[in-house]
Every structure is written in structure tokens, then in C-alpha cells.
Structure 1
Amino acid sequence: MAKASDLRTKTPDELSDDVLSLKKEQFNLRFQRATGQLENTARVRQIRRDIARIKTIQAQKAATAAKAK
């Protein structure tokens, strides 16, 4: 689970890369659930929340950048 304070120190490109990798993992977990191979069902929820956390921080950074202009 990613902490918000750790994510705030990352650049927008790094955050985008993190979202992309989490989306890939989420996709793989969806297939595992469909085939009955998913062992850690809580991981689906963690990934969903991590994606939301990163997107929130991205929006906050975009808002502060827009305000600075």
C-alpha cells in the first residue's frame, strides 16, 4: 500500500507510471478471479484504493500548478 506522503514526492510522470503498473496488476487479478485462481482477494481492494489515491494526488498537483500560473 502506497502512502500519500511518499506519493506526493514523486513527479507526475512517476505517478502516471505507477497508475499504469497498478492497472496492469488489476487486470491480471481480474483474470485470476474469473478462473478461480485468486488467493489474496483483499489485493483487489488495495489496488483500487491505491489507484484512487494516486489520481487524487495527480489532481491536487494539477490544481496547484494551474493556480500558480
Structure 2
Amino acid sequence: MDAAAAKYIGAGLATLGMIGAGIGVGTIFGNFLSGALRNPSAAASQIGNLFVGAALAEALGILAFVLGFLIFSAQV
């Protein structure tokens, strides 16, 4: 396999982490909504945890995108 082709494959696989981030954020918000509908009085105390979890999931997605871009732009 050519080194340039391996670079493109590696960059593509690294950016697949964005898909994982989208799935993670959807799961976080979906489970929060489910819990809030079951117990509305506890939803207000959990909103901070919701946003921290979503921010961490998005940060991992952005990290995967940056790593994919770095792999793509590396000199071979």
C-alpha cells in the first residue's frame, strides 16, 4: 500500500469519531428527556450534568476531527 493512500485511510478513520460524538450527544439528551418526563422535579438538578456530558462528548468529536486533519496534512 502506498503511504499516501494509508494517510487518506487513517484520516478518514480518525474523522469517524465525529459520528460517535453525534451518537453520544443524542443518547445523552434522549436519556435526559426520558428521565425528565418520568420525574420532572429532579430534572432541574440534573441540567448541569447534562451539559457537562454533552460538552465532553463534543470535545472528543472535535479532537477526532483535529487528529484526522493533522494526519491528512502530514508530510509523507
What CA distance in whole angstroms lies between the structure 2 residues aligned with 1:39 and 1:27?
Answer: 12
The one of the two structures with greater contact order (alpha-carbon pairs below 8 A, sep at least 6) is: 2
Aligned to 2:64: 61
TM-score calculated relative to the size of structure 1:
0.58
List gaps (5 residues or longer) in structure 2: 1-15
- The RMSD of aligned alpha carbons is 2.4
Aligned to 1:37: 40
Please say if 1:14 is aligned against 2:31: no
List gaps (5 residues or longer) in structure 1: 1-10
1:27-69: CA deviation from partner (whole Å, max 9, x where unpaired): 453xx5xxx8322533211111000011111111100100111
TM-score calculated relative to the size of structure 2:
0.54
Matched residues, number: 54
Aligned-pair identity in percent equals: 4
Which structure's CA Rg is the greater one?
2
1:1-50: CA deviation from partner (whole Å, max 9, x where unpaired): xxxxxxxxxx6233321111212234453xx5xxx832253321111100
Q: Whose helix proportion is higher, 1 or 2?
A: 2
